[in-house]
Structure 1
């Protein structure tokens, strides 16, 4: 089953503290963005990639795509101020329907086996998201005071990719925009429609490069692989 991947890449990466887009930071002499793109570039089931970017980074990204021979990027669209706006721009740029994935450009360690399962489940059921089970004891607290312990057996840490039938994601995105609703991920927008979202178990390696500590972990993963 083939798919198209939509990738918001217009963030500022403030928590990384690099002073520029963290996707240009390098792991093993290669930008994080390229590591992520290469996962999909090498997947025969990926029909194409739509990147949401900052307009002033277009030339740099085009140069990187040429340098590292990334050929599956079909469109570079201007991203929004929030992630949701960037994904909406990608949705509008896609006109082929089918199964679409939304993936963080800063998650370069997603496994293709997880991608394949997400696509299969989304094709059969409408929506599927990657996640891992919570390992630590979880507390509910307000103002720094514990009010209860949450049953971690029912808790999942959600990652990307998140996979959807295109029409379902388009409907969820359009409705959120019409109602001026800002969600934390695409699954949340689909959940608002009353549609079930299934979880596909992923890997704890599928970490998002957000802080300097994540870069250290990323370098270790590359060496291990």
Structure 2
């Protein structure tokens, strides 16, 4: 390892050892799950469509609280197994990031961060995101299970209550859709980690093979020099 690579590796390792609070780590991790500009446009259009559907049909023609609780329950049935898959994927990433592959991830930069830091914080961030959804759904279910089915905000008119309910439910659905779409990045990053692990393992094997071949040739040359 040359001096420049050694210094770079040492600097990156020292940055990984910097002490940070749990709130700082959570904020940094969640930043990797923020939607891109293209996805933000898609989610905004989707929000408008869902809002119009709810406001025009579902809100006025159904039991809002009961239907919302049913929606939360169904989403939880998807989110909880998905959270288990994410934790398993995070464990797979930790298993792949070892030996030569780990050194490669730490030394290769992408912007101001190393590949290892990007992947590690992304997997941490998406784990926190789904944990937040599970806790949020639990709180919502506990609160609204104890609220009368015909409850509404007394200070607002019926139309305003329906509009507000449609907006809040639409925002909730869009947030869940964004979280599900983020699984695409989860699978892609896991694939990239596997590819880096396989590549470094292959390079290491070829180096060892070349060294064995070099030693064999050297031994043959020495054998030929003998009288």
Alignment TM class, shorter chain as reference: under 0.3
Larger RCO (CA under 8 A, 6+ residues apart): 2
Give TM-score, length-normalised by structure 2: 0.23
Query: Higher strand fraction: Structure 1 or Structure 2?
Result: 1
Larger Rg: 2
Query: Which structure carries more helix by proportion?
Result: 2
